[in-house]
Amino acid sequence: METKQLMNWQSFRSAIAIHPDKHLQFRYANNQLVDASYHITEIKQAPITSVDCGGVMNAWTEIIVQLWEPSVKDSERAMTVSKAMAIIQLVEKAMPLNPIATIKIEFGNSVYDTRQMYPGEITVDGDNMVVDLRPDFTQCKAIDRGQSCGTTATGEECCTPATAKPLIQLKNLATTSAATCEPGSGCC
């Protein structure tokens, strides 16, 4: 999995821990903030093993922080980073988290379908620490490696430009004049 531009768990944890007294906000589509009364409902660690379309096995780990917006808004201010860190420490006490795992934030509400997003830029804005969430994406790992992506039923590579293949000349060795092979006739 291509992870050069993606934040890992250790980087995320370190980035937010710097400002424990700030209110932790998450910004999703069209500069919308997750409602201040959100909860961190769980932190999941998911080892992923896959075989891509080029036939190569891939393995990586994702840590998914799930946010939930209750239907009844019960807070004017988002939780502080220190409260989020207390939840993280509680999770890490029960389950060691892979520091180099890719981090995702899972969120949805009544107007935004639940999805997993990547933390992008993390900024401080007054009393708030804002985590900008970026959409997840798909990729073809085989093409990213410079290889082809599997083959079609006829043996053609499916994700690379078609290249001219050499033509093979077939010769019909059966003759219509003789039903049997005679010695010296060249048929066998």
Averaged pLDDT in 10-residue chunks for the chain of 188 residues: 74 97 94 94 97 90 96 87 98 98 96 94 96 90 77 60 62 61 70
Amino acid type, 182: E
At residue 142, the pLDDT reads: 79
The domain spans of the chain are 9-140
CB 101 within 8 A of CB 8: yes
At residue 157, the pLDDT reads: 61
- Size of the chain, expressed as the number of residues it contains: 188
CB 159 within 8 A of CB 143: yes
d(CA 65, CA 44): 6
Residues 6+ apart with CB under 8 A from 148: 54, 142, 157, 158, 159, 160
- Judged by DSSP in three states, 30 sits in helix
Residues 6+ apart with CB under 8 A from 103: 6, 7, 8, 9, 11, 12, 62, 63, 64, 65, 118, 119
Q: Could you tell me the pTM of the whole model?
A: 0.76
Both tokens of 35, joined, read 């409602």
Both tokens of 46, joined, read 């998911």
At residue 1, the pLDDT reads: 44
At residue 177, the pLDDT reads: 55
Q: Which stretches of the chain are assigned E, i.e. beta strand? A: 23-28, 32-33, 39-51, 57-68, 102-109, 112-125, 128-135
